Structure 1
Amino acid sequence: MRLVIPFVFAASCGVFAAETRVEFNRDIRPILAAKCYACHGPDEDKREADLRLDVRAEAVKSAIRPGKPEESELWKRITHTDPADVMPPPSSPKQLTKVERSLFRRWIAEGAEYQNHWAFEPIKRPPVPASNGTHPIDAFIEARLSTHGLQPAPAAAPIALLRRIYLDLTGLPPTPSDLAVLSYWSDKTYEQVVDRLLASPAFGERWARHWLDMARYADSNGFLGDGLRPNAYLYRDWVIRAFNSDLPFDQFTIQQIAGDLLPDRTREQLTATGFHRNAALNTEAGVDKEEARYQNLVDRVNTTGRVWMGLTVGCAQCHTHKYDPITIRDYYSFYAFFNNTEDRDAPETKAQALAEVTKDRRQTYVHMAGDYTRRGPDVIPASLSALPSMARSAAPEPGRLDLARWLVSPQHPLTSRVAVNHIWSKFFGFGLVRTPDDFGTAGESPSHPELLDWLASEFMRQGWSRKQLIKLIVMSHTYRQSSAHREDIAEIDPLNCLLARQNRIRLDAEILRDSALAVSGLLKRTVGGPSFRPPLPEDVFDVGRSSNWKASPGDEIYRRSLYIITLRSVLYPTLTTFDSPDAADACVRRDRSNTPLQALTMMNDGVFVEAARSLALRALSESPPDTASRLKHLFTLTLNRAPRSEELQRLTAFHAEQKASVKKGGAAALQTFGGLTAPDPVEAATLITVARVLLNLDEFINRE
């Protein structure tokens, strides 16, 4: 009989109170941040009753008596029955639960110890938990599972793992020839597959898409005019090359933030600075140019904070941050790094690049209440005061190159943690920190803090190599385990925070389209180059100024979705239906929805209808002429495995039903399939209907 150790589950991966002692960072700080700091936190302008609860020295002056909850004003207020005195006040939508009050009482009774916020603490390499020679990641995961009486899931079936690793590393399913390795499957074979996929050009295409989400990449300016950026793709292609060449993440960072300031800069490094040229740009005739410039720089500050540090620095644009130790002065000192940049199209590369203004440089001010017309105190470029200081600059004042080097310095507590968390999330559906753009006090605590720090230190130790980090993750049993539902964790850990199994992940919009094209044989695999225009219905252009849309010629429309032109005013509806971002802001985590509209799109959208047609004709030409062989081949092409006997029986029955329907419909029925010219048009039409069903299966739309 398995011993189940109960714990409090709070719809969060950071709160597992099986441990006996209340811990400030794990148990108390998240409550204070969510429900108390808005009025009793860092922002001195909004602080009520002169009470500050984010600093222990201030809290114990009047609100907390360590060891004595009944004598503590905090405990009295949160348990008060008088609406005039109870905290939070009845008008607050963020009321404390009984469990949270109980945690406060225990914490005060145990001494009300505070801790520095975990994300601002230096990264220290923790020891790997003792194990019988298991993979380091598995040692951390299994040590945590054992405290809750759980064991990891068994290994996934080889075919499920093969499809998983192909989709995760390249964004494409394996081909029939790729399945040959299953006949001699072993750990060594799996490692060889991983190495081959990491070396594939498709790896850079898949992983570039993750980064381009954060870079808010688009091929147009946005706003009403939405002017085209014909050379924006040069930055996109730089990102692809950076992933394929395994450009170390520290250099990847420096080149994007300050490639123009590097000594003997190369054309590639100049192209990299297009990162901050990706943002929307208001070019309307009546726009206030200074306001537009201010908003553009604010975007650069906020994006840098979210992408590299996982901080909501934008909250300090108008006032000191309510939850984190980021003052409004900090914000504009950070803003000062970008205040003397200008947009420039580099003649030697034709790429959009950043450049530093050398003459008539601007003085930076605090903009009071975030109003670009209200100047407060002068500031100079400086790093955030709550983080380690920046190395002394050789110049009179630090610049963007100093900022970039500070971000990737070993002393910075956030950058490697945030980067590792982003990468981890692509393999499990969520990060070790489930709020990837908020490592601050209002975000979630890590589910496995020691593992996060070990991976962050290992990432830096391996020279910031993303390919080595990715291989480390995918070689673990934690990654390779089955994703099958487990009743034994359904109540204990319904969100699978402890990772007692893998997670089934719905395919990203682009990967779903690419997979349909790949299995149908239509996919054109040319890497890089200008973006293409897919066919679009005319009514898409009823709103906005964009018009004269003409689909790209020939087989260009069958290229990977990464290369679809992204016009901010005319987003490709097939992708947005499946939750692709709109490039308005940095997207560090996509939503994943499951809606009827998605099923209708899979059945009726032109690209999926054409893929089903091509898939059916492929099965018709490549299979023996009997129905069973054709259905088996069609099934294997789509789902990368042979059908089980009961599945084949159902497909055969469906095939017979649809064939009778096509025959009954005669020429009119065949016309709906585009006037088939196959030797047996009735059989071809029937297989198309089967292919449309297979492309709609949950197994095709998700990766196990």
Structure 2
Amino acid sequence: MKQKILIISILVGLIVVLYAFKKGAFHVSKDEYSSLKLPEIVDYNFHIKPILSDNCYTCHGPDANKRKGFRLDLEETAFSELAESPGEFPIISKDPHGSKVYRAIVSDDPDVLMPPPNSNLSLNSYEKNLIKKWIEQGAKFEKHWAYIPPKKNEAPETDRTDWGQNEIDGFILKKLEENNLQPSERATDETLIRRISLDLTGLPPTQEQVRELLSDNSERNISRIIDEFLNSPAYGERMTQSWLDVARYADSHGYQDDSYRTMWPWRDWVIHAFNRNLPYDEFLTWQLAGDLLPNATKEQILATGFNRNHPITQEGGVIQEEYRTNYVLDRTNTLGKGILGITLECAQCHDHKYDAISQRNYFEFFAFFNQVDEKGLYRNAVEAKNEEIFADPPFMEISREESDGVLSFINMEKTPEIKVMVMNDSAPKTTYILDRGEYDQPADSVRPATPEGIYAFSEELPKNRLGLAQWLTDTKNPLTARVYVNRIWGMLFGKGIVETSEDFGVQGSLPTHPELLDWLAVDFMEHGWDTKYLLKKILLSATYQQKSEARPDLKKADPDNRLLARAERFRMSGEMIRDYTLATSGLLNRDIGGPSVKPYQPAGLWEETNAGGNRGILTKYIPDEGNDLYRRSLYTFWKRTLPPPNMTIFDAPNRDLSEVRRQKTNTPLQALVLQNDTQILEAARVLAQRMIKDKPNNQDYVTDVFERILIRAPKKEELLTLGNYYHDMLELYQNNIGDAEKLVAVGNYEQLDTDFAKTAALMLTVQAIYNLDETITKE
């Protein structure tokens, strides 16, 4: 009997294995990659270097502690005679079989094979053929792709001629055709209006806007729609929201005591700069070195607050030079990540292990920011608690008179005078390389300079922050424009052409469409670093205007949508979700600028996390009242040690450091915010009450709120489901008026005299719509 069971088990196992083979669960063919077509010209950066980095650099790369034998990451060593094997070379140009590297990767001898079998790494046949063809073509090494100045090549010709609206589409379609894919159809006008509005203003369009924009059927209508949103004051707020992460803006100093600071006038300037479409090269120059411009204006000096947004300690007993050094390190690292898209911080303690940045290079960058006259600790939190105006020197004073005149973009309605931290190079210092990055271990002195491997600093430029800004915005600089247009692309498509938008270095992602990225960067510079021009160019492309549905062929061939055969769908930020709710409910206060506000927040959070006891003025959270509760999330008070919790749950950073790309998570807490947050429930209540007040006998409330929130009419099955839910809740609350009264009591906004049961039922229906994926998704 046991033998029969064993035989049956073996047969069943064989059947399962054979079925798995049939379904492709096991890949046994040695030639599965052999059918892939090799590129006509094998490129070192995009074809060879990724293979070597993933499989060879552990033993033959830049890390001296792990290296075994020769280096493959440097051209001179890759072509040098091997000391241990005279007459042999790792690579011989145009001779793959004479190259030790190629012989090792195709060897059948496990003692010779590379990567070695015990490494659990291996090259497939396509990768081996790529290396062979590369060597046959001369084995040309190149600088890292991001350090080569971009070129504006013509958009490629494609087989299909009935799709595409500008040059962007040529680059996208060419890649799709190479992968035997077709782009998606154009999205509906309603979808595009909502998408464009969210991208350019961070807010949904109003129903009135949609009706007006849809009434024009001319070919130029989409262009007019884009212009309308670009010219909206909300455009500057939307763009500023992203820049605040880069600039690590906050309303508190950080560290343990985390007391108050006044930096919101700088935030108001950023909104103003985007709305007036200040060219990006000037936008950077003013923030990095506005105080050093000839005859600098107060506006240009205010812009340098960018360099003072870093955390500042207010704890007694700190070592002055240690913290002063930390502030300069922060500015240096922010320049690297936020503007250059490179991991400069990796070279603070030693030469960068992967990118061509030495520790000397790092402190040459550091020297640009090391001349400001500041202290590690100016005053502690107890002293600051009694101050009416909060700013550590150097700072600038802004009067009410100036806010009514030369600085009219600053909203000072509630403040007579303010002080804002800015830059001022008033204390010349000698900069030293710090051994292991330690503040008290100075070594060789250095002068301001930039890495020659990226782009050499001209001797004609001033050796200060103004010279640095001029270097950054030189059209020959390979990084600045690329990094910015990639970040704009990521804002619109969910991820950049280089997905690691904070890291264009060797360890970062390769661009999916390198020629397109270069074309956009050069075109951007040719058009005066005009951000609105760049946005409109992308939004007018057929690529941007596609439907977002994932067709079956796309799910299989390109599940991550890297080739962009459809529009991307991704969840909005926490700020946009909250603003969307306020806007569609009619609660949104659209005032521009001014001091940060404190909307609803769970009680006791600041007290629980306040490490400094009762020191400082930010020990207890007191929510604002009236219209300040309904300001855009851009103006929400940002305490570094406890950022707004309903935004943190949706992946907002704490702003201790510059952040270019927010992580994206999905957690149960996010659903709980949408279901229980006071702001969401109050918005649902107010919208329900206003609907009922306007039309007491309306029989179509569900359709009306659906269209108001989602900017489209509901489908039959959607209307049926939501209608049934509304009537079920109506019946429930008609039999439980007390519960209805408790539910609709949420929030501080005035109560309208409406039927409690009807209000509660419609309020929960609105809340259900606010919880839909479609509502919180930009697609």
- Is the contact between residue 599 and residue 696 of structure 1 (CA under 8 Å) also seen in structure 2? yes
Q: Name the counterpart of 1:569.
A: 641
Deviation at 1:22, TM superposition (A): 3.8
- Is the contact between residue 521 and residue 618 of structure 1 (CA under 8 Å) also seen in structure 2? no
Q: Deviations over 1:368-405 (max 9, x none)?
A: 2222222222211111121222222465xx11110110
Q: Deviations over 1:174-199 (max 9, x none)?
A: 11111212233443122111111111
* Percent pairwise identity: 41
**Structure 2 residue 559 is the aligned partner of structure 1 residue 494:** yes
Amino acid of the structure 2 residue aligned with 1:51: F
Question: Rg: which structure is higher?
Answer: 2
Question: How many positions carry a matched residue from both structures?
Answer: 681
**Structure 2 residue 138 is the aligned partner of structure 1 residue 121:** no
**Structure 2 residue 441 is the aligned partner of structure 1 residue 374:** yes
The equivalences for 1:520-599 within 5 A come to: 520-541=585-606, 542-544=608-610, 545=612, 546-599=618-671
Q: Name the counterpart of 1:600.
A: 672
- Is the contact between residue 38 and residue 130 of structure 2 (CA under 8 Å) also seen in structure 1? no
Q: Name the counterpart of 2:233.
A: 201
Q: Name the counterpart of 1:354.
A: 423
Q: Name the counterpart of 1:653.
A: 724
Deviation at 1:36, TM superposition (A): 4.2
Q: Deviations over 1:490-511 (max 9, x none)?
A: 2222211111111012111101
- Is the contact between residue 293 and residue 466 of structure 2 (CA under 8 Å) also seen in structure 1? yes
Q: Classify the secondary structure of the residue corresponding to 1:416.
A: helix
Amino acid of the structure 1 residue aligned with 2:642: V
Amino acid of the structure 2 residue aligned with 1:224: Q
Amino acid of the structure 2 residue aligned with 1:74: V
- Is the contact between residue 236 and residue 273 of structure 2 (CA under 8 Å) also seen in structure 1? yes
| Regions of 4+ moved over 6 Å | 79-86, 89-92
Q: Name the counterpart of 1:287.
A: 318
Deviation at 1:272, TM superposition (A): 0.8
**Structure 2 residue 455 is the aligned partner of structure 1 residue 392:** no
Q: Name the counterpart of 1:416.
A: 481
Between 1:555-564 and 1:366-375, the stretch displaced more is: 366-375
Q: Name the counterpart of 1:671.
A: 742
Amino acid of the structure 1 residue aligned with 2:778: R
Report the TM-score when normalising by structure 2: 0.83
Which of the residues 529, 544, 564 maps onto 1:479? 544
- Is the contact between residue 737 and residue 756 of structure 2 (CA under 8 Å) also seen in structure 1? no
**What are structure 2's unaligned runs of at least 5 residues?**
1-35, 83-89, 375-392, 399-418, 613-617
Q: Classify the secondary structure of the residue corresponding to 2:424.
A: strand
The equivalences for 1:1-80 within 5 A come to: 19=39, 22-37=42-57, 40-42=60-62, 46=65, 48-49=67-68, 51-61=70-80, 62=82, 63-69=90-96, 71-75=98-102
Give the CA RMSD over aligned residues. Answer: 2.4
Deviation at 1:328, TM superposition (A): 1.1
Amino acid of the structure 2 residue aligned with 1:119: A
Task: Name the CA distance, whole Å, in 2 between partners of 1:90 and 1:488.
Answer: 36
Which of the residues 480, 496, 510 maps onto 1:445? 510
**Structure 2 residue 383 is the aligned partner of structure 1 residue 312:** no
Q: Name the counterpart of 1:250.
A: 281
Deviation at 1:411, TM superposition (A): 1.0
**Structure 2 residue 139 is the aligned partner of structure 1 residue 112:** yes
The equivalences for 1:511-522 within 5 A come to: 511-522=576-587
Task: Name the CA distance, whole Å, in 2 between partners of 1:306 and 1:199.
Answer: 30
- Is the contact between residue 733 and residue 760 of structure 2 (CA under 8 Å) also seen in structure 1? yes
Deviation at 1:89, TM superposition (A): 7.1
**Structure 2 residue 258 is the aligned partner of structure 1 residue 226:** yes
Report the TM-score when normalising by structure 1: 0.92
Q: Deviations over 1:564-584 (max 9, x none)?
A: 010011211100011111102
Going from structure 1 to structure 2, the CA distance change for 1:496 and 1:664 (only over 3 Å counts) comes to same
Task: Name the CA distance, whole Å, in 1 between partners of 2:346 and 2:111.
Answer: 30
Amino acid of the structure 1 residue aligned with 2:451: L
**Structure 2 residue 418 is the aligned partner of structure 1 residue 363:** no
Going from structure 1 to structure 2, the CA distance change for 1:536 and 1:257 (only over 3 Å counts) comes to same
Task: Name the CA distance, whole Å, in 2 between partners of 1:371 and 1:52.
Answer: 30
Between 1:369-378 and 1:154-163, the stretch displaced more is: 369-378
**What are structure 1's unaligned runs of at least 5 residues?**
1-15
Q: Name the counterpart of 2:528.
A: 463
Task: Name the CA distance, whole Å, in 2 between partners of 1:590 and 1:681.
Answer: 41
Q: Deviations over 1:289-312 (max 9, x none)?
A: 211122221111111011121111
Amino acid of the structure 2 residue aligned with 1:222: G
Q: Deviations over 1:458-500 (max 9, x none)?
A: 1111111101111111111111111111112222222111111
**Structure 2 residue 572 is the aligned partner of structure 1 residue 507:** yes
Q: Name the counterpart of 2:24.
A: none
Q: Name the counterpart of 2:377.
A: none
Deviation at 1:288, TM superposition (A): 1.8
- Is the contact between residue 199 and residue 492 of structure 2 (CA under 8 Å) also seen in structure 1? yes
Which of the residues 752, 756, 768 maps onto 1:681? 756
Q: Classify the secondary structure of the residue corresponding to 1:477.
A: coil
Deviation at 1:38, TM superposition (A): 5.7
Amino acid of the structure 1 residue aligned with 2:255: F
Deviation at 1:678, TM superposition (A): 3.1
